[in-house]
Amino acid sequence: MNAHHTHQEIVVVTGAGAGLGRATAREFARRGAHLGLIGRDPNRLEAVRSEVEALGARAVTISADVADARQIEGATERIEAELGPIDIWINAAMTTVFSPLHAMSAEEFKRVTEVTYLGNVNGTLAALKRMRPRNRGTIVQVGSALAYRPIPLQTAYCGAKHAIKGYTEGLRCELLNEGSRVHVTLVEMPGLNTPQFDWCRSHLPRRARPVAPVYQPEVGARAIYWAAHHRRRQLYVGISSLLTIWGNKLAPGLMDRYLAHNAVGGQQTDETEDANRADNLWQPVAGERGARGRFNREAHRQSVQLWASTHRREVGVAAGAVVLLGALLNGRRRSRHRRRALSGRR
């Protein structure tokens, strides 16, 4: 944790205007951080600024496209000039196209890659430029279980998340080789109830939805906050992420067939998609969306798996106590049997 620094914790969040990025901004504001908020829609950024200022934070909002490295470098300069040295950088910006690969254009695939993957790289480069000379700071990469186990209808997004995992693990080795105290962590997300399913481009016949089970974005935001303050190399969020990642390690061929059978229908609701609706691939969709999407009724507000993962010591103590209790009870049972056997011989 940055407790040894006397200055206020300064945190940058990309994709801060809605969804997980917005929930993350609120989580850090609630805990006393000041924020640099980067997103494309200036009106939404102002709404987020009002929310975090109401929680006691100072905020700098900058309208920028993460796919443009110069815009991100300029935004970073301004944030440090107005707030001070950045302690934590969170790469949360993303976009996707819900579509079979054959129905996508090369331009669409490229744009998803530029925003979701290269936007992450651009943010990391801007953060490293400042953190490496200071020999401190944390970069949080918002990853996905889909980086380990791709699914149909999200090939561009899955490819980008794979790429984030790949270059991040290489970067981590470089930092270790330098003896750098800059920490990079991956937080692997499950399906979250965010507005992306209403404004990301779709070529599907029915409205897109997250793969169940669905979690509220605040669950992801709490995971990001925890990861930013503990030197864990990666953190899985939600039991579905854990099962997906391990299922793919143990039986990838079986996962192929399972997802082929279940994940196409499982990513669509029964409602017909509006082929003419606005999407955010090239420019932001107007209007206030907040952090949550339209799946409140089914979205989980807590994750037992995440609690267990972030409380390993407590889980270990509890497990040890259960084993010890079991051993004691078993010992007592055996001694009773022995006494009965001895009395029977008499």
Strands 138-144, 214-215: pairing kind: unpaired
pLDDT digits (tens, 9 = 90+) for 187-209: 999 999 999 999 999 999 999 99
Most confident of 258-272, 297-311, 314-328: 258-272
User: Averaged over 109-138, what is the pLDDT?
Assistant: 98
37: phi then psi, degrees, rounded to nearest 5: -110, 120
Q: Give the pLDDT of residue 280.
A: 95
Query: Which has the higher per-residue pLDDT, 323 or 61?
Result: 61
Does the active-site annotation cover 148? no
Q: Give the pLDDT of residue 131.
A: 98
Q: Give the pLDDT of residue 312.
A: 64
Does the structure show a pLDDT above 60 at 97?
yes
How many Å apart are CA 97 and CA 109, to the nearest integer?
8
Mean pLDDT for the chain overall: 91
Q: Please, which pLDDT band fits residue 338 given cuts at 50, 70 and 90?
A: confident
How many Å apart are CA 135 and CA 180, to the nearest integer?
6
**Right CATH number for 10-310 from 3.10.20.600, 3.30.465.10, 3.40.50.720, 3.40.225.10?**
3.40.50.720
Q: Give the pLDDT of residue 75.
A: 98
Q: Give the pLDDT of residue 29.
A: 98
pLDDT digits (tens, 9 = 90+) for 210-232: 999 999 999 999 999 999 999 89
The residue from 117, 148, 157, 225 that is catalytic is: 157
pLDDT digits (tens, 9 = 90+) for 233-244: 999 988 888 888
Closest CA to 185 of 158, 165, 215, 163: 165
| Longest CA–CA separation in the chain, Å | 91
Asked whether the beta carbons of 242 and 308 are under 8 A apart, the reply is no
Q: Give the pLDDT of residue 309.
A: 73
Q: Give the pLDDT of residue 5.
A: 44
Q: Give the pLDDT of residue 316.
A: 62
Strands 10-14, 34-39: pairing kind: parallel
Q: Which residue has the tokens 């330098």?
A: 178
User: Averaged over 124-139, what is the pLDDT?
Assistant: 98
Q: Give the pLDDT of residue 320.
A: 63
In terms of Cβ atoms closer than 10 Å to its own Cβ (0-12, 13-18, 19+), residue 158 is: buried
